[in-house]
Amino acid sequence: MVAVTGPRQCGKSTLVRHLLGNKNLVYLDLERQSDLRKLDEAEWYLHSQKDKIICLDEIQRKPELFQLIRSLTDEWGRKGCFLVIGSASRDLLRQSSESLAGRITYKRLTPFLWSEIKT
């Protein structure tokens, strides 16, 4: 599992969408009510998408998913099933690291640095 973290509005979602394009991907934005409703029966829904990369954006809005993700990751036995995106709050990092120890890698995205901007 991969977690892309960073401050709000630094381009996390845009980067992920650009890199993954139209690959076999399910993208859920947890700030959208219709996407949240899909997770009312989270175990069933995620199981029905198991052959895809499941991207959960704004994961900090539903931290209880970390335990289910851990269980499904172990059950499915394949790498890269889940990609989560969220603001890098201490709570998010603590919750995910406790639930997903040994199963998650973090990639931190920062806003552009002045040295990266061509003038």
pTM confidence score = 0.77
Alpha-carbon distance of 94 to 36, in angstroms, equals 22
Question: Residue 110: which residues within 8 A CB-CB, separation 6 or more?
Answer: 6, 7, 10
CA distance 7 to 19: 19
**86-90, 107-111, 114-118: which range is least confident on average?**
86-90
DSSP code of residue 47: H
pLDDT of residue 30: 93
Instruction: State residue 100's pLDDT score.
Output: 64
- The string of pLDDT tens digits covering residues 4-38 is 887 777 777 777 777 777 678 899 999 999 999 99
Cβ neighbours of residue 14 closer than 8 Å, sequence gap 6 or more: none
The SS3 call for residue 84 is strand
